[in-house]
Amino acid sequence: MPSGTRWAVLKAQESARNTTQEDALQELLKNGLGKAQIFARSYVLPNICCTQKLAKELASESLTPAPGTRGFTGWHADIIYLFRRKTVIAINDETRFTLFIPGLVKKDFAQFEKVLIHHLEQALDLAGANRAQIAQAKLLLGGFSYYKTHNRSVLGTLNDMKVGLDYILKVRLGRLPETETEYRRIVTSLNDTPCKGKDLQGVVFPKREMLNMIDAAG
């Protein structure tokens, strides 16, 4: 059995997961989907491939290779320090859609799944997703597990995003975003930026590709 601290973190993560999935389920039911359809959409659990630094913050067990890495099942994430505050950047492998999660504290890592999905919801809203698309994405991302990073191309994009954020925040803004407008500008800029990679077929536009992927999952 995990140690006392690790066990408390795991229980908090499980509670957050159940709440988020229930909210997404109710939203999809409102949009006319039957429970059988919803179950069929959500049977594959996503994988968050994270660095050792992030795994330590999440009190995760030893990381193993990810069993599946495409579509909504594949994400990479890392933690960086900006203005002495912990910030997580998460990128979907296939679309390069990016989540910017700044100013995290200990309690946020204890319920990291809920925090990540909240920022996914915000990023999708900024990308122009409708309520059904957002609910679908929240359901697809619920219940994820942590694994080793494995895709150098995605890690390259992740590093590019970190450099871009470092410039935006330190040179142009001079601090972490404090208003909704500032946060919106940063997230929109990240997901409007076209990306290339050895694992991609040409150039991808994160915002467009993510919305297309959500629709295809339906």
**Domain limits, the chain:** 4-217
Q: What is the pLDDT of residues 132-185, one digit of tens each?
A: 999 999 888 877 889 999 899 999 999 999 999 999 999 999 999 999 999 999
Q: DSSP string covering 71-117, please?
A: GGGEEEEEEEEETTEEEEEEEETTT--EEEEEEE-HHHHHTHHHHHH
Contacts (Cβ under 8 Å, ≥6 apart) of 18:
none
pLDDT digits (tens, 9 = 90+) for 14-23: 454 444 445 5
Q: How far apart are CA 156 and CA 91, in angstroms?
A: 11
119 pLDDT tier (thresholds 50, 70, 90): very high
Confidence of residue 60 (pLDDT cuts 50, 70, 90): confident
Q: What gap in Å lies between CA 139 and CA 165, rounded to an integer?
A: 28
User: pLDDT class for 194, splitting at 50, 70, 90?
Assistant: very high
Pairing of β 145-148 and β 47-50: parallel
Q: Which of 210, 77, 100, 94 is nearest to 155 (CA)?
A: 77
pLDDT for 23 = 57
Percent of the chain, pLDDT > 90? 60
| pLDDT for position 81 | 94
Q: What pLDDT does 201 receive? A: 83
Q: How confident is the model at residue 9 (pLDDT cuts 50, 70, 90)?
A: very low
Is the pLDDT at 128 greater than 80? The verdict is yes
Say what the pTM is: 0.80
Handedness of CA 73, 12, 131, 42 (dihedral sign): positive
Buried b (16+ CB within 10 A) or exposed e, 67-78: eebebbbbbbbb
